Amino acid sequence: MSGQVLLIEDEPNIIEAIKFILSREGWHVHTHSNGVDAADVVRSRAPDVLILDVMLPGRSGYDILRELRDDPATAALPVLMLTARGQSKDREMAERAGASRFMTKPFSNAEVLDAVRALTSVA
C-alpha cells in the first residue's frame, strides 16, 4: 500500500509513532503541527488521507475540518480525527464537523493502520 498521508498533530511522540507505523507500511507521511494554516497545507499537499488532531495551537481541528468540508476541493477527503477526549460529545462534534473516522488517544498501532486502510479503500 502506498499513498500520501498528512498528519496534523502537535505532540512529537504521537507524530513519530504514527509516522513510523505508516511509513513501515509504505505510506508517505507529511506532518504539520500548527492549526492556523493547516487548511492551506492540506490544499497544497492534497493527501489521500488526513489525520487531524482536535487540539492544535492556533485553531481547533473541528474548525479546520469544517473549512475543508465547505471547500469543494477538499470536501470528500477522508479524515481521521484524533482526540485525547473521548466523550460522546467529542465524537458528536467530530461527526458534525465531517470526520470520516474518530479515534481517541491513546490508540494502538493496529487501530491507526486499520483506520487509514479503511479510509483509503473507500476513497
Q: Is residue 103 part of a domain?
A: yes
Q: Is residue 25 part of a domain?
A: yes
Task: Output the pTM of the full model.
Answer: 0.95
Residue 57 neighbours by CB under 8 Å, 6+ apart: 10, 33, 34, 35, 36
Per-residue pLDDT at 123: 44
Question: Domain of 89?
Answer: 4-109
Q: Is residue 119 part of a domain?
A: no
Cis bond before residue 47 (omega within 30° of 0): no
Q: Is residue 121 part of a domain?
A: no
Domain count, the chain: 1
Biggest CA pair distance of the chain: 34
Per-residue pLDDT at 85: 81
Q: Is residue 32 part of a domain?
A: yes
* Domain CATH number, residue 37: 3.40.50.2300
Cα-to-chain-centroid distance, residue 24 = 18
Q: Is residue 122 part of a domain?
A: no
Q: Is residue 47 part of a domain?
A: yes
Cell match 513510523: residue?
A: 20
Residue ranges for the chain with pLDDT beneath 70: 1, 122-123
Q: Is residue 86 part of a domain?
A: yes
Residue 72 neighbours by CB under 8 Å, 6+ apart: none
